[in-house]
């Protein structure tokens, strides 16, 4: 009886995992003409459609920055100067990033796919003025749209590259996606 129950649980869990996936991204984030890199991890679920080569894939990603970036404050295209005559510089760090995308994927060939995705993203971080103790937190909620390409390495593995454009930032993602 215990063996039968174990087999039923194992089969149920395998069925539940069908079409689920995990993803890991290295992302270049561009804000105010400056670049920062973030890493994200996420989960996805493939939803087949009536069209054999098209599927819908909701993806939920969470991440954090792996470096901060600096920029010089400008006004009318000229650097803003501090009291000491030096340009005012700021460092920005990304503490938290979350995004929900609803991807529509077209399987062009056995190995290559093309996708488009609207995305809602939330970014939280800090801005610190260089050379001072001035520090502020920022939060941004942003809607964007992305396009990308995927290459199917094997039955479960995909490598994907995408570009997402938002009001306040843009993202270039290199992803590895594993589906169960």
Asked if the model's pLDDT at residue 6 lies above 70, the reply is: no
Comparing 6-20, 58-72, 77-91, the range with the smallest average pLDDT is 6-20
The more confident residue out of 77 and 26 is 26
The pTM of the whole model exceeds 0.85: no
pLDDT at position 9, please? 42
Closest of 77, 163, 72 to residue 115, by C-alpha: 163
By DSSP bridging, strand 69-72 and strand 89-107 are: antiparallel
Task: Name the band, by pLDDT with cuts 50, 70 and 90, for residue 18.
Answer: low
Residues 48, 37: Cα–Cα separation, whole Å: 33
Does domain 21-179 bear CATH number 2.40.160.20? yes
Task: Name the band, by pLDDT with cuts 50, 70 and 90, for residue 12.
Answer: very low
Q: Where are the domains of the chain?
A: 21-179
Mean pLDDT across 99-120: 96
pLDDT at position 101, please? 96
């Amino acid at each position: 009886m215990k063996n039968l129950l174990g087999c039923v649980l194992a089969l149920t869990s395998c069925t539940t995992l069908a079409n689920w996936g995990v993803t890991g991204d290295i992302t270049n984030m561009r804000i105010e003409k400056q670049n920062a890199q973030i890493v994200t991890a996420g989960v996805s679920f493939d939803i087949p459609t009536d069209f054999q080569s098209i599927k819908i894939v909701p993806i939920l990603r969470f991440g954090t920055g792996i470096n901060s970036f600096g920029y010089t404050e400008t006004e009318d295209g000229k650097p803003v100067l501090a009291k000491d005559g030096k340009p005012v510089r700021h460092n920005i760090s990304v503490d938290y990033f979350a995004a929900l995308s609803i991807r529509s994927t077209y399987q062009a060939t056995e190995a290559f796919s093309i996708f488009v995705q609207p995305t809602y993203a939330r970014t939280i971080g800090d801005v610190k003025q260089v050379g001072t103790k001035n520090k502020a937190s920022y939060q941004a909620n942003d809607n964007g749209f992305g396009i990308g390409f995927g290459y199917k390495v094997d039955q479960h593995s995909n490598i994907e590259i995408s570009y997402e454009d938002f009001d306040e930032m843009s993202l270039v993602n290199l992803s590895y996606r594993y589906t169960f």
